[in-house]
Each structure stands twice: as structure tokens, then as C-alpha cells.
A and B are shown apart, each in its own frame.
Chain A
Amino acid sequence: MSLSPRQPPRLGLRLVVALPAEASPLISQLALSPIPGEHPFKIYRDTAQLHWLIVSGIGRHASSIATAYLAGLSRAQKSVAWLNVGIAGHATLPVGEIRAAHKITDATLGTSYYPPVLFDKLSTESLMTMPEPESAIGSNMLVDMEAAGFYASAATFASPELIHAIKVVSDHGMQAGQRLSKATVTEWINQQRPALQQAMEKLLDLSNQFAQRWADPDYYDAILAEYHFTATQKNQLRRLLQRWQVLLKDDDVVDFVWKHAATGREVLASLAERLDRESLTLPEA
């Protein structure tokens, strides 16, 4: 029987948007389809089930709940990247301009989050998440109603390096009850598809780096399937197999284990004993 070293990590994006009009360009860009079944939100994913998008509805609370719902439903690992895309007001920036958020402040709680400056081709701006639409935007920052809720929720599932919000400027202040036409919103997002594409690719690259680094070492699952290990011993096994990959890459670890160990405890002892005989050498010049 030939054993597979490990499953390659499955990477993807999790997108959270407030409105169907913001979602539709992304749905076609990533070739997403609605998922079957009853859900409290509209949810889409691609056929490989890598990229997922949820339409949260308006407000930080809705965004927060939708983010958590999507994380659970899509079994999002820590290395998955999260992106909130939508429209936002700004006092002076021209309508249709795109910005990544470098600081997201929750106006209700007074809390701030700092997504790192990651996208070379996107200018960045501070973003304030308000509980109500703003009729007059005074300060020089983006204003929305979701990003802070999204961010706080996503931060419980993913590395903060992988959580970002990107906004397209839609207005310079909105009166209560004033509405933007769906077609206009869709058009603004559509026009920014190249910039969004680049940002998503960058996030996937980063996500990939994390996934590779955090992946289980080769043959971890194969050895777990044959021996019993406690939770602590599983961690020890993971590290020993990592060390094997580094120090003895070409040697067959599975063969070694079969030959030297009858129990989980013996697996650990024999691996440790073998690895401790290796010393640190300089790679060939």
C-alpha cells in the first residue's frame, strides 16, 4: 500500500458583503453559485468549495453574525483569508475610488483594529463603522456600517494578517432614507474588479504561506491511523515528524516507525532517539 505524505492544504477566500448589489460582481468574478439548503443568509461558493461569499445585510451586528456563520459553515481554517468588500462614504474622495482600510474604528464601542498595509497597488484610508448612515461626513476617513463587526468576528477565526476590508467610495454623506440605486453600486464594484482581483490574489498568496507553514508534517495522518496517541503525544509526534523532514528528508520515516515501534509511546521514543543523533551542519556552500 502506498501512503500519501499528506493532503495539500485547501485554500480559499471568505468574502463578506452587506448588499446583493455589492455581491453580484464578486459572484461572477469568482464563479460562485448559491449553496443548497436553508440558511439565514444568502451564501455562495465555487464548485471546488474554496471561495465562499455571504451577504450579511446592513449593520455591524449583521456583519459580525454572518462572518461567524460563514466561518462555521465553511469550516474556515486559521490560514483562510477574510475580506469585507462594500461601499463607503467619504468627505472628499471622488465617488468610485477604491481604498483598503488601514484602521477600522467601531464608533459604537470606541475600539480600533489595524489591518496591515498589504496591497501595493491600493491606497489606504482609515474607516469608521457607524451605527447609522452619516448625513455629513466631517473627518477625512471612510464611513461604513459593517467593517468593524466583520473584523472583530473574523479575528476570532483567522490571523489578523489575513483580515482586510476594501471599500469603494459611494457618497459624501447620505440622508436618512436616501438610497443608492442597485445598478450604480454594482457598477462601482464592477469597475474596481482588476484592483479587487489583485488584492484577492495577494491574500491567497499569503494564505498559502500560512497553510504550508501550519500544515501537518508528511505521514502524520498515516502514523496516527496505526498507533494510539494522547493529545500531548500527538503534538510531540507532529514536532518529531517536522524535525525528520528537516534533518532526514530522504529517509523513509514510515518504514523506520514500522520497524522500531509497536506502540505510540515507542514511536515517539524511537524517533526522538534517532533525531537526537543528528547534529547541525552547514548546507553545502
Chain B
Amino acid sequence: MISALYVEESIWEHPRALALRERFAKVPHIRCERYGEVFNRHGQDFRVQKSRPALILAEKHRHHVLPTPPGYGIGGQANYYFSHILNCLYDCRYCFLQGLYQSANYVFFLNFEAFQLEMKALLDKHHDNVYFFSGYDGDSFALESLTGFVRAHLPFFAQHPRAQLELRTKSLKAKDLAACTPLPNVIVAFTLTPERISREWESGVPPLAKRLDVMQALAEQGWPIGLRMDPIIPIESYQQHYGELLDQVFQRLEPAQIHSATLGSMRFPKAMHKTMVKLHPEEPLFATSDPGDAPVSWLSEQLGRWLPASKIFPCT
């Protein structure tokens, strides 16, 4: 799975680095000064690296938790995101990470504790709930067996009910949460696309039915569930496919079990789009023109059949 392990010199002996070096004993272990030397090199090829990613172990020194871009949120006023890992196990053709980073290698920031210190400081700064979004730079659970990040952070959120955590995922690993007591302030958000679309454009992502099983089990246990249809893939027959998807979801879940639903269109900043086209010039997703806001409006209206407007967050 991993072609090489790069480790920053300063954390070569860090206990988490030692454990991962032992786990990946058969691949080359390569020392670097700072992860950017490997990760940010000019001219790397995301598409080629995606087939043989390396793992880079690094230490994050600042900006552990950052304000979200405008329009990113699920009803709160104070919204922040954090990334303990950069890049993702899966290979969704529309993923913006391929336009954002030069490299498809995984970067894992080992110094967990620093994330919690910054979250604590932000909680002290705000009087109301503070929302922390994980899964911005990669799936929150897909590499959990490697990072153990979620497991290590749940106690912090159990102790700080004002801290709202969103874990965003397409991974079946989310089922590990079933072994923990549900926390009302930890939202397990499933990014969903209709099965046919997922099979076509979400390489490596587990089958939809299995993910819905996990979602249902966690909902029944009491975990707040998020529905994330972001981006909506604007195929010609999107109404049929997304309509079926909503039916599948609401056959399994009671509306009350859903914390929030977000919707977004498939749009990229110009430079990012250009990079993605260069990586996949043969990709139909990037060859058709932007259908505008119609899919988001339509899906938002459909969701209104089950959910109150206060739980639906369209982003156009």
C-alpha cells in the first residue's frame, strides 16, 4: 500500500513514528528535514503518485486549526477545520485535492496533542458552540488504522460538549465508532453519491449499500448523522439517481436521526480546474459545461420532503 516512508528528522524517534516504521518495515525509510521538501516539490505528478503513494510523517508547528472558508458550515457561527492528514486513500475523480497539492503522498502530522491545545484555546475564545471540521484534506476515517487520530480525540470531545466535531467520511471504518459511547457533539457525516456514479468516479470507495449499513447502525446507536451530497455530480439523469439515493437513505434513517444535510455543486477555482484537466484530459467530468445551480436547488427541494429547512445547507 505504501511505497516508502519519509520521516522528518526531528520525529525519527517519536513513538508514533517508531510504531509506523515497525509496521512498514519492508519499505525504505527515508529521513527528511521538513515534509515540504518531499511533498511540495515542484513538478510532481499527482496521478502517477496516486498509484504508489508514500507516507510522510511530519510535525505540524502552527496553524493546526484554521477558520473554514466562507459558506462552509452546518448552522454554527464559529467554524474551523483541521487536517491531521493530507490526502486520501480513495481516488475520486472530482476530488479537489488533486488540484490543490503537487503530491498524492499522504502526510500524517504526528503531534496530535497540539491540535487539541489549539481547539481548547478556540473554545475559550468563543462563548457558543465551536464547530471543528475534519475530513477537509482527506477522509476522516479511511486511514484511521494508520493514524488512530479519531480514537485519540474522542475523549477531548466527550469532555468539551461545546466543541462540535464533524467527521466526514466514505469509509466503512466509521463503524469502529460503534465500540464507543455515542457523543451528541460528534457528527458522523457520510458523503454520498448514487451507487452508479460512485462506481464510475469514486475509485476505491466501498459500495454504497455497505456504507448505508454503517450509517444506519451508528444512527440507531445514537450518533448524530450528517448527509453530505457535496459535490452533486451533474449527470444528465441526476434527478433519477439522486432521487433513488434519497429513498435508500430515508428507508433506513428517521429524519430525527439526521443532524444536517449539506449540498454542493461541482465547481472549482479556475487554476485548480486547469490542473485537474491536465492530470485527466480524457475525463468526461471535466469536459462538459457547468450546469449551474439547478442540481443543488432540485436536491435541496427534494430533501425538504424529509428534513426541515433548518437542517439543509445548500452551497451553490
Residues of A within 8 A of B (CB): 102-103, 112, 114, 116-118, 123-124, 126, 155, 159-161, 206, 209-210, 213, 217, 239, 242-243, 245-247, 275-276, 278-283, 285
Contacts and interface: CB of A to CB of B under 8 A. Distances in A.
A112 B32 CA distance: 8
13 contacts: A112-B33, A114-B32, A114-B37, A116-B54, A117-B54, A118-B3, A159-B43, A161-B45, A242-B277, A242-B282, A245-B282, A275-B289, A281-B236
Given A126-B30, A155-B43, A281 B200 contact: no
A230 to B, nearest CB: 18
Contact of B45 (A123, A210, A243, A285): A210
A246 B28 contact: no
Interface residues of B, number: 41
Contact of B41 (A160, A210, A280): A160
Nearest to A244: B287
Contacts of B33: 112
Contact of B235 (A206, A276, A282): A282
A10 B177 CA distance: 53
A161 B48 CA distance: 8
Contacts of B272: none
Interface string B224-240: 00000000011111000
Contacts of A242: 277, 281-282, 287
Contacts of A124: 4, 28
Contacts of A282: 196-197, 200, 235, 237
Contacts of B278: 213
Nearest to A123: B28
Contact of B28 (A117, A209, A275, A276): A117
B94 to A, nearest CB: 11
Given A242-B281, A242-B287, A280-B234, A206 B54 contact: no
Contact of B288 (A103, A209, A217, A280): A280
B289 A160 contact: no
B221 to A, nearest CB: 35
B52 A116 contact: yes
A206 B48 contact: yes
A206 B200 CA distance: 24
B38 A114 contact: yes
Contact of B3 (A116, A126, A155, A217): A116
B197 A209 contact: no
Given A112-B32, A282-B237, 19 more contacts: A102-B30, A114-B6, A114-B30, A117-B54, A118-B3, A159-B44, A159-B45, A160-B44, A161-B44, A213-B47, A242-B282, A246-B284, A247-B284, A247-B287, A275-B287, A279-B235, A279-B291, A280-B234, A281-B284
Contact of B277 (A117, A209, A239, A283): A239
Instruction: Give chain A's interface secondary structure class.
Output: mixed
A118 B52 contact: yes
B4 A279 contact: no
B146 interface: no
A118 B27 CA distance: 12
A213 B281 CA distance: 7
B233 to A, nearest CB: 7
Nearest to B33: A112
Contacts of A209: 48
A283 B235 CA distance: 11
B45 to A, nearest CB: 5
B158 interface: no
Nearest to A281: B236
A8 B282 CA distance: 17
A123 B30 CA distance: 13
B285 interface: yes
B254 to A, nearest CB: 31
B49 interface: yes
Contacts of B197: 282
Contacts of A114: 6, 30, 32, 37-38, 41
Output the residue of B32, B279, B287 with the most chain A CB within 10 A: B287
